[in-house]
Amino acid sequence: MLVVPSVDIMRGRCVQLVGGKPETERVYGEPVEIAQRWVAGGASYLHVVDLDAAMGTGDNFQKVAELISNVGARVEVGGGVRTLERANELFGAGADRVILGTAAVKNPELVKKLVKTAGGARVMVALDSRSDKVTIDGWRSRTEKTAARLAKEFERIGVGSLLYTRVDVEGSMRGVAAREIKKLVESVGIPVFASGGVGTLDDIRAVKETGAAGLVVGMGLYERKFTLRRAMEVAEG
C-alpha cells in the first residue's frame, strides 16, 4: 500500500482542517517547503488540495504549480476542479493525476470527457462520505447516493482510481473507517485510496488489510503521531 502525504493549501499556507471546517485550521508552514520535506523523507507521491478553490473562497493555482515544479515526486491535485480547462491547466503544470469531487458527482459528462482526453489513469474521483452518503460542495451538502453506487458508475466511465474519505473523522486522528473502505474496495476493480482519521500506525495497518491501494495521511503526520518512514514501513510490510 502506498502512503501519500497530504499538502492542503489555504491562503497560500500549508494547513490541516478537522472535518473540513475552516475555523479548525492548523497552520504548518510554506507548502513547497513542507512538500520537499515529505519527499526528502521518502514520499514518492503527494496529495495536494487547494482548499480555497474547493470552498469557492480563492485560488492557489500558482502555489500548486510552484510546488509541482519543485518536488522530485509525482503529485495528484484536487480542490475546486470543476472544468476541463482547470484540469488541463493542472496537467500543464505537471500534475500526474487530477481529482474531481463535487464536479464529478454533479456532472459525470465532464468526467467522461476528461477520461477521453487525458486517459483514465490520470483521473481520480473523490467520494467524500458522511453516514454512508456522498457529500459535495465542500462537504456542506449530502447526496442520496452511496459511495459504492457512485464508484461503480465512475468505474464504468473509465476513471482510473477513487479516493474515499470519511468526512466525519477527517483530521480527527480518531481512527479509520476500515469497514467502509473494505466495502468500497470489494465493490470495484479499480484502485481505491483512503483518507480520514489516521492517528496511529495501527490505523495504517487496518487500512492496509482492507486491500486499499493507497492511504492519504495528513494530520497524523503533521502532529507527529508517527513518522513518514514508519508509516511507509507498516504500509509496505
As annotated, the active-site residues are 8, 128
> Residue 122: what are its φ and ψ, rounded to 5°?
-100, 5
Burial of 156 (0-12, 13-18, 19+ CB in 10 A): exposed
The residues pairing with 152 across neighbouring beta strands, listed in sequence order, are: none
- Rounded to the nearest angstrom, the gap between the alpha carbon of residue 124 and the centroid of all alpha carbons in its chain is 9
**What is d(CA 26, CA 17) in angstroms, rounded to the nearest whole number?**
7
- Residues 6 or more apart whose CB falls under 8 angstroms from that of 138 comprise 20, 54, 55, 56, 102
**What is d(CA 6, CA 77) in angstroms, rounded to the nearest whole number?**
10
**What is d(CA 64, CA 205) in angstroms, rounded to the nearest whole number?**
31
With residues binned 3-state (H G I as helix, E B as strand, rest as coil), the percentages for the chain, rounded to 5, are: 40, 30, 30
Closest CA to 223 of 10, 24, 23, 2: 24
DSSP string, 111-134: HHHHHHHH-GGGEEEEEEEETTEE
